[in-house]
Structure 1
Amino acid sequence: METVEQLVSFNHIPVQLNGGTPWGFTLKGGLEHGEPLIITKIEEGGKAEQCKKLRVGDELVNINGSALYGSRQEALILIKGSYRILKITVRRRSVPVIRPHSWNLAKLSSTESPHSSTPVPPPTPPSPPSAMQLHPGPYTLPWHSTADNR
């Protein structure tokens, strides 16, 4: 079975801002705080908003061709060193739509056949394999959790 981490993919989005400072976005996090460098605010009417590519929550991974190692101080130095053009690459989560099992789809569909007035019962869900044991307890996590079970 796939884990949440295997189902989540990331898109790398190149962005070029022109015209010089202020660039119109705010960063939070960094190695100093034990977090990735995340865009937390995009100024209304600023260059970041006008480019229409950046979003709050994007992770900054590259500035002017330099891969970042996660330090906020490093990122600020590179950003401030950009005179007329700022080229950045951000990483954005892309969570695919997970389709329910076919028996769930049948439950959601109409319970009547289009050619008769007799209701058609939904199919019975498949039973889990006998070797599969579910142990709900303190270590179960919701499907959307990103916590590590170590």
Structure 2
Amino acid sequence: MTYQQKTKETDNSVVEFIESVDSMKKREDAYKLVDIFTETTGYEAKMWGPSIIGFGSYHYKYESGHEGVAPLVGFSPRKAKISLYFAPGDTKRQELLNSFGKHTTGKGCVYINKVADIDLAVLQALINQSVQFLQETYPNS
């Protein structure tokens, strides 16, 4: 049985998705993040699955044989918090997060309540670091 990747790039509208977010404040933050991620990566915002806004992409293949395509970086304005997606396994990430501002972390995510809680220069450094790490780790993307 082949694994079917759940989160794939779609042609859905990023603007329509952001406009469907209940909280006006989260919508404003989402537009701010789109601008920051676009400016920092040089990639256009694309929808990945129903709720992730991703930038760029890379093809990964694990030793287990599992492979797929994922955004280099991205975010999702979820109900409780905004999830930021950076490269999992990047050792420099923790160092940057120490001066990021108010956040919590999960396996591959960094969660924030609002953009005002974080240092935008550190956000840009996290984005750049993640993109660089993934492009070096998966050079044939």
Q: Which TM class, normalised by the smaller chain length?
A: under 0.3
TM-score, structure 2 normalization: 0.23
TM-score, structure 1 normalization: 0.22
More strand by share: 1
Larger Rg: 1
More helix by share: 2
By relative contact order (CA 8 Å, sep 6+), the higher-ranking structure is 1
